[in-house]
Structure 1
Amino acid sequence: MPDAMPDPEPETVGPPPGNAWWARVANVSRPTMTVYTPKGLNTGAAVVVFPGGGYQILAMDLEGTEVCDWLTSRGISCVLLKYRVPDSGPTMKDGHRYYPKVQTALQDAQRTIGLLRQQAGQYGIDPHKIGVIGFSAGGHLVAAVSTHFAQRTYRPVDDADGLSSRPDFAMAIYPGHLWVHEDDDDATRHETDLSLRPDIHVTRDTPPTFLLQAEDDDVDGVEQSLAYYVALQKAGVPTEMHLYAQGGHAFGLRPTNHPISHWPVLAEQWLRTIGILKPE
């Protein structure tokens, strides 16, 4: 991975009080990619997973290993990216939006996709069926890598960086940091303005995208998905969006009493629709 600086080793800490248990990893200075091979039939498809955590920590089980268990059970190779944190992308610091001069999480995502394409034959992966999925801040990273692939955002390291870092498909689950007005004190003044933040530039070459969010998400409001959806539609990018009345934030694949918990079935159907998986 590019430009990793010596720092404290990653640490695993517990959940905030009152929340269901999920393992959090902090202080990642050396990014890693862990490959999970399919269980049973190999479809040739692969997905790089971006856990969320506000670009401060990483929810490595809730939005990482548990997602890989689902994907590999469907014959899809999974690559879990432990990208650099903290402050590696747009985040909140001291009550204000902070934009790092260099988005190191995006660097790690670009590098991972290039490496995966380079090593696709080794893992039985079709280099034209490599997608990404991300949750919360990881959903922003999905949008970032889907719109920043014309060139690397770091100095090339080897031949892998000469390969495309464009995902072939993308899934953003309760994404954050996308709507330009999310930090306004009176966001209702802008409820009809669904513009994206300036770091996300959607074009017609942005990959087909699946969006999912709950309307009662009080961490990243539904405007995040709506803003990205509007931009994708204007650019003519094939997009499927699912909004649910209830579900909150950071539910991953864990079962709840809300219909939104069935979203993996919708995602699998979408993957068949765009030709990544074969029809049942």
Structure 2
Amino acid sequence: MKFEKITLQTPEGASFKIRLYSRRQFTAFPDRRQWPIAVIFPGGGFTGISEREVEPAALAFLAKGYQVVVVRYHLAVTTPFYPAAAIMGLTVLHYLRENATMFHGDPTKIVTVGFSAGGHLVAVMNALGGQPEFLKQHGFTEQRLHPLAQVLCYPVIDLRLGFPNDLKQAEKISPDQELWAAQNLVTAQTPPTFIWHTVTDELVPVINSIVYVTALAKNQVNFDSHIYSQGVHGLAFANVASSRVNHPEDIAPRAASWFELALSWLRTCFASSNQTEL
């Protein structure tokens, strides 16, 4: 495995960092394979980054044949989260389109993966990536910047549905209220979506995922959804690798099935896009 920290710059000049975890090609035989790319947006309540959704996520996807990028996006500490964080996410997609083959990544098989607040970011940025006027306004030359698919893990979807718990915090995340409710940004062009949540999530109510799935269905977007009856918020991979010490609730075998289900569903997305299936 090769690990790199790379500094990127948005078209408007804001610098931020990504972490690239890439598999090395075998050298005994010529290996021209290009691997799908998982772009990870960890959670952290819009003001931090959850460690449990960084390296555990990177290593899990890497072990399944993906190249992995983890995005250190803008946080709502002194200035609003949006649109800065979304512009950074779209900058990563632009960078990967141009440079993925340099590390044996397939620029046609990019999957954005968002956990919790990172799920809101993924849903919003992929909606904005389908708006040519937004892209032009912020210096992008593309008419459309979309991944092949998106994976949303216990996502915040609507800032009025339980997290954050007051409107002042929501305004700090986005002064533009049109970005509060990601379900209202769904169109027929929304990327195919895998989404999962738990009924007992104590921080981000499950209704967030339910309203998003409803919007996907209304717009006839390909999706796969899984709602588990039990599990705390922030399960990540719900196994030992992503658990906290002395927190047995972080290990939830049934919820842990989400990862293999997502990988299986993503293979169908790769196949239907006329790309070679992994």
The question of a shared fold, defined as TM-score above 0.5 by the shorter chain, is answered with yes
Alignment of 1:201-240 (within 5 A): 201-240=185-224
Read off the aligned partner of 1:142 and give its amino acid letter.
V
Aligned length: 232
Aligned to 2:20: 35
Structure 1 unaligned regions, length at least 5: 6-29, 90-99, 186-195
Aligned to 1:117: 97
Aligned to 1:253: 237
- Counterpart pick for 1:77 among 35, 58, 67: 67
Aligned to 2:35: 44
Q: Is structure 2 residue 139 aligned with structure 1 residue 156?
A: yes
Whether the 8 Å contact between 2:161 and 2:205 is mirrored in structure 1 is no
Q: Measure the CA separation in 2 of the matches of 1:68 and 1:184.
A: 27
Whether the 8 Å contact between 1:107 and 1:154 is mirrored in structure 2 is no
Aligned to 2:258: 263
- Counterpart pick for 1:174 among 139, 144, 154: 154
* Residues 216/76 of structure 1: CA separation in 2 closer, same or farther (3 Å cut): same
Aligned to 1:57: 48
Whether the 8 Å contact between 2:74 and 2:85 is mirrored in structure 1 is yes
Aligned Cα root-mean-square deviation (Å): 2.8
Q: Measure the CA separation in 2 of the matches of 1:170 and 1:242.
A: 14
Read off the aligned partner of 1:71 and give its amino acid letter.
F
* Residues 154/232 of structure 1: CA separation in 2 closer, same or farther (3 Å cut): same
* TM-fit CA distance, 1:142: 1.4
Q: Is structure 2 residue 92 aligned with structure 1 residue 107?
A: no
Read off the aligned partner of 1:46 and give its amino acid letter.
I
Render the CA deviation track for 1:177-210: whole Å, top value 9, x for unaligned: 426543799xxxxxxxxxx944551111100000
Aligned to 1:142: 122
* Residues 278/74 of structure 1: CA separation in 2 closer, same or farther (3 Å cut): farther
Q: Alignment partner of 1:172: what SS?
A: strand
Aligned to 1:241: 225
Whether the 8 Å contact between 2:193 and 2:224 is mirrored in structure 1 is yes
* Residues 106/184 of structure 1: CA separation in 2 closer, same or farther (3 Å cut): closer
Q: Measure the CA separation in 1 of the matches of 2:21 and 2:164.
A: 41
Read off the aligned partner of 1:77 and give its amino acid letter.
Q
Whether the 8 Å contact between 1:39 and 1:75 is mirrored in structure 2 is no
Q: Measure the CA separation in 1 of the matches of 2:61 and 2:205.
A: 27
Q: Measure the CA separation in 2 of the matches of 1:246 and 1:107.
A: 35
- Counterpart pick for 1:68 among 47, 51, 58: 58
* TM-fit CA distance, 1:127: 1.7
Read off the aligned partner of 1:274 and give its amino acid letter.
C
Read off the aligned partner of 2:22 and give its amino acid letter.
T
Q: Measure the CA separation in 1 of the matches of 2:118 and 2:78.
A: 11
Aligned to 1:23: none
Whether the 8 Å contact between 1:39 and 1:73 is mirrored in structure 2 is no
- Give the alignment's TM-score, normalised by structure 2: 0.74
* TM-fit CA distance, 1:38: 2.9
**More helix by percentage:** 2
* TM-fit CA distance, 1:156: 1.7
* TM-fit CA distance, 1:88: 8.8
* TM-fit CA distance, 1:101: 8.2
Q: Alignment partner of 2:71: what SS?
A: strand
Alignment of 1:12-23 (within 5 A): none
Read off the aligned partner of 1:227 and give its amino acid letter.
V
Whether the 8 Å contact between 1:219 and 1:249 is mirrored in structure 2 is yes
Read off the aligned partner of 2:138 and give its amino acid letter.
R
Greater Cα offset, 122-131 or 71-80: 122-131
Structure 2 unaligned regions, length at least 5: 1-8, 27-32, 166-178, 240-250
Q: Measure the CA separation in 1 of the matches of 2:191 and 2:103.
A: 23
Q: Measure the CA separation in 1 of the matches of 2:161 and 2:152.
A: 19
Q: Measure the CA separation in 2 of the matches of 1:218 and 1:40.
A: 43
